[in-house]
Amino acid sequence: MLQLPEVVKATDQLAKERDAGQVSLFGGGDAAPALEVLLTEVDEWPLSQKLTGERETLGHYLSGHPLDPYREDLRALVGTDLGELDKLWSGAPQGEKKGWRPEVGVVIAGQVVALRRKGDSQVFVQLEDGRGRIECSVFSEAYTQMAPLLTRDRILVIQGGLREDEFSGGFSLRVRQCWDYAQLCANHAQRLSLRLDMRVPGLWDRIDALLAKHRPGATPLRLDLLLKSGERGVAGVLDLNGPKSVRVDTELLDALRAHPGVRTVKVAISRPWAN
């Protein structure tokens, strides 16, 4: 993408030379000059930028899913993904009446991919995580409170009642509470853990400069360091808190994961629904 202007310029020049009779289309006359474009070494696009471009051009994601960078942290937070709803349902107790099943209280996470309103009393939110999809219903009283969070592409954590959907044959969810995942990172992050390969030249200087932009903060750090010692590598763990603690947000997590030498980025988040 960075070189497209140069490529267009070079091919335009070739076209002008051809029209001027300097280059033959059928091999006669002077040979076509070699098209030379110098490619600059640049960092890979962030995953979010690649996925946005893929959806805009192809209509779907190709390189991954927007939840991929946060999938392990979300699973640690809610304990499941949208492809495992049948396990949550089958493990719930049966109702007193034969054939009747009460709603099952669950907490799930996913990205908002669609919204639709039914009159003034109900809003339906399609939630998807790359492994499953579910429609969540929000009634008027709850919608008034949650409306600012119910926007397309936002990653939400939702607490509600899981039930069988008679029409689709799958499941639906009645929403009781929801949280923006980005806000949970900012307000409920208990610890940020990084696994760093210190054998990569200059890694710590770059990571420390990035972390410094997110200080002061309330979230302590745990650094799992791979160090070079002679011919064999050694490892060590370092905990940083107090003035070295940071403010955690999804932008920081994305920036850390983009650095070569950062092996793992994990954030432990407390569960506000458990209080």
pLDDT digits (tens, 9 = 90+) for 164-198: 877 777 899 999 999 999 999 999 999 999 999 98
CB 77: neighbour CB atoms within 10 A?
20
Work out the mean pLDDT of the chain and round it to a whole number: 85
Share of the chain above pLDDT 90, in %: 48
Decide which of 3.30.70, 3.30.450, 3.30.1120, 3.40.50 is the CATH code for 186-274. 3.30.70
Q: Where are the domains of the chain?
A: 68-90+104-184, 186-274
The answer to whether 68-90+104-184 and 186-274 have equal CATH topology is no
Of 11, 30, 10, nearest to 22 (Cα)?
Answer: 30
pTM above 0.85, yes or no: no
Helix axes 203-212, 250-257, angle to 10 degrees: 170
CB 3: neighbour CB atoms within 10 A?
13
DSSP 20-50: TTSS-TTS-SSPPPP---PPPP-PPPPHHHH
Amino acid residing at 57? T
Amino acid residing at 29? G
Residue range 44-60: mean pLDDT, rounded: 85
- CATH top class, domain 68-90+104-184: mainly beta
- Residue 33: pLDDT over 80: no
- Residue 222: pLDDT over 80: yes
Alpha-carbon distance values, 266 to 3, 31, 57, 162 (Å): 35, 57, 32, 29
**Cα atoms in the 13 Å half-sphere on the side-chain side of 64:** 12
Cis peptide bond upstream of 93, omega within 30:
no
